[in-house]
Structure formats: structure tokens, C-alpha cells
A and B are shown apart, each in its own frame.
Chain A
Amino acid sequence: MPDEQPILKVRDLCTRFKTGRGIVTAVDGVSFELYSGETLGVVGESGCGKTVTNKSIIRLLPEHVTRYGEGSVVDYRGTNLLELKEHQMRAIRGNEIGMIFQEPMTALNPVFTIGWQIEEALQYHTDLSPSQRRTRAIEMLRLVEMPNPEKRIDEYPHQLSGGMRQRVVIAIALCCEPEILIADEPTTALDVTIQSQILRLMEGLKQKTGTAIILITHDLGVVAQACDRVIVMYAGQIVEMAPVRQLFHNPKHPYTKALLDSMPKPGRAGHQKRLPAIEGTVPSLFNLPKGCRFAERCGHRQNNCETALPDLIAIGNEPHSSKVRCFYPLGETA
């Protein structure tokens, strides 16, 4: 990992929602750094806070029911994004931080041409003239490897396939050359061949532009293919943070291990027993256990796991060594 300053520092991010059943803490004390040019994976089951974490960073949550913690900081180039006014945040969205979404079928506005939708972002963040914007939009479409961009620019989303639409969504997110790209399950809705094309495309664009990518996914295959470092989240907290190799070869947290075990392994499919699944369900955010949130489902549980919540602690002394939230992290040979 580069030893430069991180482009984004998230410190103790807590995101709470006011709901009809009371206040719920969807993200609880998440801290991490993002460095230029890296791809940071965020994995975890549905509802573990991956999306909320990232929507908090770009402030796309419904503000009237959302409260951020007292000490929460999202430090982007010395500015705490959580303290910005909506109009200041608008200058950052799409410009400094781009975002792409899970459902390319619905993420684009069906009644405007894709050119219009790319040019719209340029209109908000650049001084380009309409004709320059169009040129730039065609350039972007070419960059995301859209075939025949001069013709495609005037087409509507429904005239494009899912993969093509996701390319358009990426073009919109990248047209103002953001420093950070948040990709929220960008390939989940696509079939596997298109999925890997899109991932390769994102990797290539990252090389060209130096954009840092936060890649949210629940697909460990995607993580293995695309990420440099990985954050594993569980019930609103980070349970493990590690470079991708280390995570796959030497998971420290029992949850990470269980996730990896529940992944099908190529070549062994035919004569393996049933794929192991993680027993039980994620605890309700309304009724979180006092101790470790994974304790109930954990095979390595000890007595104190249920009474005390472990901290996220670094393993080893190197600056980028992995961190794990477990009293009994799994050993090297686990």
C-alpha cells in the first residue's frame, strides 16, 4: 500500500435512523482510510451497513430521519463532509465523489437520452458549453467502451442492454473525474460475463485516472478479482479489515472464515458435501446483543464473547496490517 496521505478518512462513523420503532444504529463506529488509486472492498450480508456507510459518506440518506454520531468524521481533504450544508455537498457529489448503483435497469432516468444524462452532470460541475459537453459525453462513452458512441448518445436507456446501461452509469459517475468512486454492488444485477467485463473496465479506468474506488459487494468472487484491501462488516460494525490476499488466505475473524467457507470452490463442486452455510441470522438492529454481535452464530465462541464487545484491534505492527474485532482471532494455520 502507498504510504501517502489517505484521500478519505472515516473516523468513528455512526449513522442512526429515527424509525417508528425508535432509534436504530445502522452503522456503529466505522473507521477506515481510503488511499488514491486503491480499490477498497466492503463486504457483508444484506443489512450489515455497507450501503448506509457509503451513502453517509456522500450524504444521500434521507436527512430528516438520519443522525450522525457526535464524534463522527468523514474527512475528505480536510473537510468534514458530515458538517457541510446541502448546497456545499452538491458541489462534491458527482464532482469529487461519484457513485454507481446496483440496478442499471432503473438507475437511469427512462425519459431522457443517455447523452442528456451524462451532460447533466457536466452542466452542474463544469463551465463547458453545450457542444463541448456533448463532445465530452461522447468521449466518456468511448472511455467506458460503448460501441458506436456517436450514435448511442442519442438513445434512451431502454434501447440499451443491462451491461451497456451500467457503462453509462459509470460514464456519468466518472465524467467529472472524481477522486473517489463509490460503487454499490455495480455488478450484482449483471450476468457473470458482463460482470467481469465491467470489473475489468473499472480497473482500467482506475489505472488511467487514479480514482480511488470503494466497491460494495456481497460477492467474494468480485472482491478477489477487483479489490486491494477489504473491509468485512457485520451488523453495522467492521469486524475485519485486511489486504485482499491476507483476507482470503488467512482470515482472522470467524465470520470472515465462515463467509469464505460458504463460497463454492471451483473443481470441487461435484463431490463435495453440501456447501456450508452460516447458521442463524444477523441480529436485529433493534435488539443487539451486549457482547460480540457475531457470538450467537460463532463456532469459536467463549464465555466472555457474550458479555463484552471486542474492539477492532490491529494484528502486527505494520501500518497497513490487518485489524480484527475478535477476542480469539483465528491463528495462522486456521
Chain B
Amino acid sequence: MWAFIIRKLVYNIPVYLAIIFLLMVLLRQRDPVTGKLGKNATQEDYISKRKEFGLDQPIYLQYGVLLKSIFTFDFSQESWNEPGVTVGEKLRTAVPRSLALTVPALGITTVISIFVAMLSAFYRGRWIDRLLVFCAVLGMSVSFLVYIIFGQYFGAYKLQQWLGTPVFSIHGYESGLLNWPFFMLLPVLISVIVSMGYDTRFYRAVMVEETQADYITTARAKGAPQSKVMFVHMLRNAMIPIVTRVMITLPFLVTGSILLEEFFGIPGMGYVLLSAIRNDDFPVVEGFTAVFAGLFIMSIIATDILYAVFDPRVRLQ
């Protein structure tokens, strides 16, 4: 298995290098300097700023510098927007905040939607299945923004008026486990509701296919109780699509949910990345992308490994 991992990593090095290079080239189509200079800046100011940012260097040298900092895990380059704050510090503060939002959301969504999907597939074509599918489609059809705005209005603002004390935060963030429900529960719930529709429909399709499989009939003919048929026979076979879907979303856990963080004022990865893009803060954008791309590649490799864990027919070679 180690040979497999190493070979996969080696194969993905060119992909990774290309991602970083493309990012650099594309970013440098913009002019980050003019906006950071005052109205009365001179040509000299402009040139010295470019020098300060290292933009006067040829692109292959800039690329080399960036690669070196990535592969040595040295994110000590300072943000152009907040002098004195390094990219590494930004990552270290923003990532846990994003994870505090996205990990519970993914966990809750996955568990509930798999369960609902099994129920739906088991009662396929009957009223309970139709109701669940109807709800899922309805949930999918409503915009993310509607959930956020209604969530903030009813879940935070109206609830506060009604109870007299604030229950959920509308905007803002403080760290700490005890603060989590106040700042995070509402965005997590909104995120769960938004993803439930898609996930349930996806997992239902997976489960429906499994309920029709011959081995299900064999299991029932053995005298297996329904719970065993569903949670042992079916679920284990459905693990491949489930793993695929969950693993694909994993890297996005770190990037956070840009919309939720923006609306609720949670300074996580999404929030930081968005403001860095707006302000042409190249080191931050590059650092975050480097981490994200790395995680993406690793989760793809991990997906392959998990396939082999769950399905004996898959061999890592």
C-alpha cells in the first residue's frame, strides 16, 4: 500500500506544480500595486512597491520562491494587506474556524441523509418515499441565500425579539468551545438544510440500486432481519459511492463556506480568502490555494485507499 501511496504522490507532483504555476500567472494578470498606493503616488513609489512585493523579479524566480516556501511548509511571507501578519498565522487562525463550521455540518448531513435515503429506498414508491423526495427536491430548489437570510431573520433576529435574549449570533465571531452554539449552530443548521436535499437524493439513488441487487434477496432468503439487510448488506455495498462523495467534499471543509462565513461574519478560510482576492493580497491567495490543492490531491489518494478498504474487489496496484 505504501508503494501505491508514494506512486500516486509522485504522479500528482506535476499536477500540483501546474496548479501553482497557473495560479501565479493568472494572479499576475492583475496589478496589485496601484490600488495600494495613494492618489498622489509617483512612478518611483510604484517601482519601489513592486520591488517590495518581489514583482520585479522574473516569474520563474517568483515561482521558485513560492515553491520553496510551500515545500518547506514555511508560510512566513507577510500579507500585503496586513503588514506584520504572516500567511501561516492567517491559516492557523482561519482554518479551525472554518472546520468548526464545516465538519459538524458535513457529519450531520451525511449521517442524516444516508439514513433518510435508506428509509426512502426501502419504502420506494410509497407515500413516505414520495414525501421525502418531495421535501428533498423542494429543499434543493430554494437558493442558499434564502436560507441564510430567512435563518438570520427568524432564527436569530425574531427569536431574539420573542425571547428577549439573543439565542444565536447574527454577525460576528468569538472562539472557544462554549461560544460555539451561539455563533456556529445556526450556520451549521442552515448548511445541513441546504445540503440535505442533494445528499438525500444522491444516496437514495445509490440505495435504490442496492435494494434491487440479488444479494439482498439472498440475505432475506437466509432469514436476515430487515435491519441487518439494510445496515450490514446494503450499507457496506453502498460505501463506495458514499466514500467518493464524502471524500470529494473533504478539502472544501478547509476552505469553509464563503457565503455562510461572509453573512455571519465568521473570519474563516472562505472569508479570509475572499477578502484576500478582493484586495489582491497575492501571498494569502497563493498560500491558501497551495494548502487547498495539496489537500485535494491527498483526499483523492485517500479515496482510492478507502475503496480498497471497503471493497475487496479493489486492489491497490
Q: Nearest A residue to B126 by beta-carbon distance?
A: A64
Query: Which A residues touch B214, using CB under 8 A?
Result: 101, 103, 106-107
**A163 CA / B60 CA spacing, docked (Å):** 63
Is B215's CB under 8 angstroms from A109's CB? yes
Chain B contact residues: over half helix, strand or loop, or mixed? helix
Is A173's CB under 8 angstroms from B215's CB? no
Q: Residue-by-residue, is B202-216 near A (CB-CB < 8 Å gives 1, otherwise 0)?
A: 000000000001110
Is A156's CB under 8 angstroms from B313's CB? yes
A116 to chain B, nearest CB (A): 10
User: B41 interface residue, CB < 8 Å from A?
Assistant: no
Is A101's CB under 8 angstroms from B218's CB? yes
B125 to chain A, nearest CB (A): 8
A53 to chain B, nearest CB (A): 15
**A249 CA / B125 CA spacing, docked (Å):** 48
User: A313 interface residue, CB < 8 Å from B?
Assistant: no
Query: Which A residues touch B311, using CB under 8 A?
Result: 110-111
A-B pairs, 5 with minimum CB distance: A94-B223, A94-B222, A106-B214, A109-B215, A99-B221
User: B195 interface residue, CB < 8 Å from A?
Assistant: no
Is B213's CB under 8 angstroms from A106's CB? yes
User: A323 interface residue, CB < 8 Å from B?
Assistant: no
Query: Which B residues touch A110, using CB under 8 A?
Result: 215, 237, 311-313
Q: For residues 101 through 149 of chain A, which have their beta carbon under 8 Å from a beta carbon of chain B?
A: 101, 103, 106-113, 120-121, 124-125
Query: Which B residues touch A95, using CB under 8 A?
Result: 223
Query: Which A residues touch B312, using CB under 8 A?
Result: 110-111, 113, 156, 158
For A, the interface residue count at a CB cutoff of 8 angstroms equals 32
Q: For residues 204 through 241 of chain B, which have their beta carbon under 8 Å from a beta carbon of chain A?
A: 213-215, 217-226, 233, 236-237, 239
Is A107's CB under 8 angstroms from B215's CB? yes
Q: Nearest B residue to A93 by beta-carbon distance?
A: B223
Is B222's CB under 8 angstroms from A120's CB? yes
**A135 CA / B237 CA spacing, docked (Å):** 27
User: A91 interface residue, CB < 8 Å from B?
Assistant: yes
**A120 CA / B219 CA spacing, docked (Å):** 9
User: B153 interface residue, CB < 8 Å from A?
Assistant: no
Q: Which residues of A contact B (CB under 8 A)?
A: 58, 60, 64, 86-87, 90-95, 98-99, 101, 103, 106-113, 120-121, 124-125, 156, 158, 169, 172-173
Query: Which A residues touch B46, using CB under 8 A?
Result: none
A-B contact pairs, 29 of them (CB 8 A): A60-B220, A60-B221, A64-B126, A90-B224, A93-B220, A93-B222, A94-B221, A94-B222, A94-B223, A98-B221, A101-B217, A106-B213, A106-B214, A106-B215, A109-B215, A109-B218, A109-B219, A109-B236, A110-B313, A111-B310, A111-B312, A120-B219, A120-B224, A121-B222, A121-B223, A156-B312, A169-B218, A172-B218, A173-B221
Q: Which residue from A107, A112, A120 sits with its C-beta under 8 Å from B236?
A: A112
Query: Which B residues touch A87, using CB under 8 A?
Result: 225
**A112 CA / B235 CA spacing, docked (Å):** 12
**A95 CA / B223 CA spacing, docked (Å):** 7
Q: Which residue from B217, B223, B310 sits with its C-beta under 8 Å from A92?
A: B223
Query: Which A residues touch B126, using CB under 8 A?
Result: 64
Given contacts A101-B214, A101-B218, contact A109 B233 (CB under 8 A): yes
Query: Which B residues touch A172, using CB under 8 A?
Result: 218, 222
B14 to chain A, nearest CB (A): 34
B311 to chain A, nearest CB (A): 6
Query: Which B residues touch A58, using CB under 8 A?
Result: 221
